[in-house]
Chains A and B, each alone.
Chain A
Amino acid sequence: MAELLFDGPDWDFDTLRRTTEAIETIAREDLGLDVYPNQIEIISTEQMLDAYSATGMPLMYRHWSFGKQFIHHERLYSKGAQGLAYEIVINSDPCICYCLEENTMPMQALVIAHAAFGHNHFFKSNHLFRQWTDARGILDYLDYARNFLSECEERHGPAKVEHTLDAAHALMNASVFRHRRPAQPSLRAEAERAEKRIEEDERAAHYLWSRIEAEHRPQDHETSATQRRHALGLPEENLIYFLERHSPVLEPWQRQVLRIVRNLAQYFYPQRQTQVMNEGCACFVHFHILNKLHEQGRIGDGAMLEILHSHSSVLFQPRYDHPGYSGLNPYALGFAMMRDVQRICEAPEAEDREWFPAIAGCGDWRGVLKDAWANYRDESFIQQFLSPKVMRDLRLFALRDAESEEAMKVTAIHDAGGYHALRDTLARSYDLSNRSPDIEVVDADLAGDRVLRLRHVLRNEVPLDPREREATLACLRELWGYEVEIDEMLG
Chain B
Amino acid sequence: MTHFIDRRLNPKGRSTPNRRRFIGRIKAHVREAVDASVRKRGITDMEAGTDVSVPRDSLSEPSFRHAAKGGTREGVLPGNREYRAGDEIERPPAGGGGAGRKGAPDGEGEDDFVFALSRDEFLDIFFEDLELPDLVKRALTGSAVQRPRRAGLSVTGSPANLNVGRTMRRAMGRRIALRRPSDAMLDDLRERLFALEAVFEPDAAQRAEILRLQAEIEALTAHRKRVPYLDPLDLRYSHFEPQPEPRAQAVMFCLMDVSASMGAREKDLAKRFFVLLHLFLTRRYDTVDLVFIRHTHLASEVDEETFFHSRESGGTMVSTALAEMNRVQSERYPASEWNIYAAQASDGDNYQGDSRDCQIWLESELLKICQHFAYVEIIGEAEARILRDAARGTELWMAYREVAERWPNFAMRRVSGAGDIYPVFRDLFAKRGEVAHG
Contacts and interface: CB of A to CB of B under 8 A. Distances in A.
Contacts, number: 271
10 contacts: A39-B2, A39-B5, A65-B22, A67-B21, A67-B22, A320-B80, A401-B72, A408-B88, A411-B74, A437-B64
A318 B77 CA distance: 10
B85 A417 contact: yes
B382 interface: no
B90 interface: yes
Interface stretch (B93-101, B173-181, B294-302, B359-367): B93-101
A175 B19 CA distance: 27
Given A24-B1, A64-B21, A472-B62, A42 B83 contact: no
Contacts of A38: 1-3
Interface in A402-429: 402-404, 406-415, 417-418, 422, 425-426, 428-429
Nearest to A435: B66
For the complex of A and B, 10 pairs with smallest distance between CB atoms: A319-B79, A67-B22, A462-B71, A471-B62, A67-B18, A461-B71, A320-B77, A64-B21, A402-B72, A397-B80
A225 interface: no
A399 B101 CA distance: 14
B18 A461 contact: no
A425 B15 contact: no
Interface stretch (B106-114, B243-251, B308-316): B106-114
Interface in B4-24: 4-8, 10, 12, 14-15, 17-24
Interface of A: 13, 16-17, 20-21, 24, 37-44, 46-47, 49-50, 53-54, 62-68, 70-72, 75-76, 81, 94, 98, 101, 116, 158, 162, 166, 169-174, 317-322, 325-328, 394-404, 406-415, 417-418, 422, 425-426, 428-429, 436-437, 439, 456, 458-469, 471-472, 474-475
In this complex, the member of B59, B62, B103 whose beta carbon has the largest number of chain A beta carbons within 10 angstroms is B62
Nearest to B21: A64
Contact of B72 (A158, A325, A398, A460): A460
Contacts of B1: 24, 37-38
Contacts of B87: 409-410
B164 to A, nearest CB: 40
B381 to A, nearest CB: 30
Contacts of B7: 41-44, 47, 98
B81 interface: yes
A158 B62 contact: no
Contact of A468 (B19, B65, B81, B107): B65
Nearest to A20: B2
A199 B1 CA distance: 43
A81 B107 CA distance: 9
Nearest to A323: B101
In this complex, the member of B8, B85, B116 whose beta carbon has the largest number of chain A beta carbons within 10 angstroms is B85
B80 A76 contact: no
Contacts of B67: 462-466
A437 B83 contact: no
B225 interface: no
A241 B15 CA distance: 29
A439 B66 CA distance: 12
B80 A413 contact: yes
B119 to A, nearest CB: 16
Nearest to A158: B21
Nearest to A326: B100
B114 A429 contact: no
Given A42-B5, A426-B76, A463-B66, A325 B100 contact: yes
In this complex, the member of B24, B60, B65 whose beta carbon has the largest number of chain A beta carbons within 10 angstroms is B65
B63 interface: yes
B84 A472 contact: no
A398 B75 CA distance: 6
A60 B383 CA distance: 53
Contacts of B22: 64-65, 67-68, 71
Count class of interface residues, chain B: 35 or more
B200 interface: no
B73 interface: yes
A322 B90 contact: no
A317 B100 CA distance: 14
Given A50-B15, A320-B78, A462-B71, A401 B97 contact: yes
Given A66-B18, A437-B65, 8 more contacts: A40-B4, A50-B14, A63-B18, A67-B20, A402-B71, A403-B69, A425-B74, A474-B62
B438 interface: no
A41 B411 CA distance: 59
A321 B105 CA distance: 19
Contact of B21 (A47, A63, A406): A63
Contacts of B74: 398-401, 411, 425, 428-429, 460
B89 A399 contact: yes
A64 B59 CA distance: 10
A17 B89 contact: no
B402 to A, nearest CB: 50
B101 A169 contact: no
Nearest to B15: A70
A403 B91 CA distance: 11
A178 to B, nearest CB: 15
B63 A81 contact: no
Interface in B49-71: 59-71
A460 B60 CA distance: 27
Contacts of B83: 397, 410, 413
A40 B87 CA distance: 51
Given A398-B74, A410-B85, A412-B85, A171 B63 contact: yes
Contacts of A459: 71
A6 B113 CA distance: 45
B14 A47 contact: yes
Contact of B78 (A50, A81, A328): A328
Given A75-B106, A437-B64, A468-B63, A400 B73 contact: yes
Interface string B135-174: 0000000000000000000000000000000000000000
Contacts of A411: 74, 85
A462 B66 contact: yes
B100 A170 contact: no
A475 B69 contact: no
Contacts of A409: 86-89
Nearest to B9: A44
A72 B104 CA distance: 12
A20 B2 CA distance: 8
A463 B73 CA distance: 11
B25 interface: yes
A39 B3 contact: yes
A44 B8 contact: yes
A193 B87 CA distance: 60
A42 B4 CA distance: 8
Nearest to A421: B85
A94 B3 contact: yes
A67 to B, nearest CB: 3
Contacts of B97: 401, 408
In this complex, the member of A321, A461, A468, A472 whose beta carbon has the largest number of chain B beta carbons within 10 angstroms is A468
A68 B113 contact: yes
B80 A475 contact: no
B85 A413 contact: yes
A144 to B, nearest CB: 18
A414 B76 contact: no
B64 A37 contact: no
A173 B21 contact: no
Contact of B3 (A37, A173, A399): A37
Contact of A394 (B24, B73, B78, B89): B78
Contacts of A66: 15, 18
A400 B98 contact: yes
